[in-house]
Chain A
Amino acid sequence: MLVAWNYRYRNSPMDHIDPRARFIFSFAILFAATATWNPAILFAVFVVSILWYSMGRLTWKDTRLGWLMISIMLFTMIVVNTIITGGGAGGVVPPGGQLVWPNGAVIFGRQVNLGLTVERLWFAVSQLMRILSISLVFIMIPYTMDSRAYGVTFSKLGLPDRLAYTMELSFRFIPTLARNFQVTLDAQRARGFELDAGKGNIVQKIRQVAPLLIPVTMNAIVSSEDIANAMDLRGFGQMKRTWLYELKFHWWDWAIIAFGAVMLVVILILAYRFDMRLFSVPQWWYELFG
């Protein structure tokens, strides 16, 4: 079983941006998008996210699995809850409002009265802009960031060396763990074990997987103790460590951080000082529905 990271070098603008600047900007987008329900501000953040995503030069083929998961979440949250059932907007959209179909509709010969309001429909649009803004900046990270960069990035961002090195070691040993998993699977199969994950109820499925998970987990623990002893013998944790993978800020990285910070501060001021954090529906949206 080959375990490969999704990242590959594309010579895109995103490949030349320092990972620290990318994480700072992504979190600025996250906090900016969640600070307000104002449609103009959300739209601005959405446009910035789209531009940021386009800098990664990702193809649909690269990211379709991630977008599939997000689509399922969006469908459940927006289409089923906000639009169809009428829930999903509680606490944000004021009760009542203008019905989209005040006279109902005739479906298969039956009169159906639909309670969907213009306000709730706009809330669905706002939700879409907010969730997509956050998804666009974060979904691209595994595809556009070298796996060797995570440890040094978190260390340079101020996280303790132990935590940053945990990330680094995790990335390093995932292929090793995958190989051990395959070896254990082959050994169990040689002893008559069959991994029929599709059969039985959930309890039976878990019990089928146990003869595979238990040896792999125990082997991982024993191996990790060896690694921990080796690190202790080399004095790990006694002083600040250096990293083989080097990060270097360029002027554009500082510009991106500054832009993200200014954007976030401006949005927070607009939201809380000028009371622009509440949900509202633009007049042109009402005019679309007469």
Chain B
Amino acid sequence: MFFGIAFGPIVGFITGFVGNILADMLSGYGFWIWWDLGNGIMGLIPGIFSALVYKYNERKSIIWGEVSVILGTALGMGLASFSEMWVSGADINTVIFANFVPAFLTNIIWGLILLPILMIAYAAIVQRSGR
């Protein structure tokens, strides 16, 4: 999410997509294309919002960042969870309560707390490097 906000939608998508592939491979969980895509979307949506961010430590930018986290997590984890309907044959209740809710809540809590901290830290980096 942070990389999407800082570097745009393509970087955000690749960070989420490739990052999830690598994390699953390091953990030995295999290769789950729909969950990789879902994590990619979680980075893509904040990347779209990056056009509204000028100064990373501004209140308005941080608010846009938080909005993008909520939207990105809902869409990304939504796609990944609902893919279980055609992959595993799960019904809507299973998908919502066994897949979507745990994934959505976990990611949104991490995102809402860490994104503002990372944005403020990155603002210092930007100022120092003169970007």
A positions within 8 Å CB-CB of B? 3, 5-6, 26, 30, 34, 37, 63, 65-66, 69-70, 76-77, 80-81, 87-92, 123, 126-127, 130-131, 134-135, 138-143, 163, 166-167, 170-171, 174, 202-203, 206-207, 210, 213-214, 217-218, 221-222, 225
**Cβ-defined contact, B117 with A123, below 8 A:** no
Cα separation A6 to B30 with both chains bound (whole Å): 11
**Cβ-defined contact, A214 with B117, below 8 A:** yes
**Cβ-defined contact, B114 with A77, below 8 A:** no
CB distance from B73 to the nearest CB of A (A): 15
Judge if B88 is at the interface, Cβ distance under 8 Å.
yes
1/0 contact string of B1-37 vs chain A (CB within 8 Å): 0100010000000100011011011111111110000
CB distance from A27 to the nearest CB of B (A): 8
**Cβ-defined contact, A87 with B94, below 8 A:** yes
Given contacts A65-B29, A70-B30, A206-B110, 15 further A-B contacts (CB under 8 A): A66-B28, A66-B29, A69-B27, A77-B94, A81-B90, A89-B91, A90-B93, A91-B91, A127-B89, A130-B89, A135-B30, A138-B30, A138-B31, A142-B25, A170-B18
**Cβ-defined contact, A163 with B89, below 8 A:** no
CB nearest to B125 among chain A residues:
A218
Interface SS majority for chain A: helix
Known: A123-B89, A214-B121. A206 touches B27 (CB 8 A): no
Cα separation A6 to B33 with both chains bound (whole Å): 19
What would be 18 A-B contacts, judged by CB atoms less than 8 Å apart? A5-B26, A6-B25, A65-B27, A76-B94, A87-B91, A87-B93, A88-B90, A88-B91, A88-B94, A89-B91, A135-B30, A138-B32, A139-B30, A142-B25, A142-B28, A207-B113, A214-B121, A218-B122
- Category for how many chain B residues contact A: 35 or more
Cα separation A235 to B56 with both chains bound (whole Å): 31
Most buried by A among B87, B90, B98, B118: B90
Cα separation A141 to B87 with both chains bound (whole Å): 19
Cα separation A170 to B23 with both chains bound (whole Å): 11
| Residues of A with C-beta under 8 A to B84 | 77
**Cβ-defined contact, A140 with B30, below 8 A:** yes
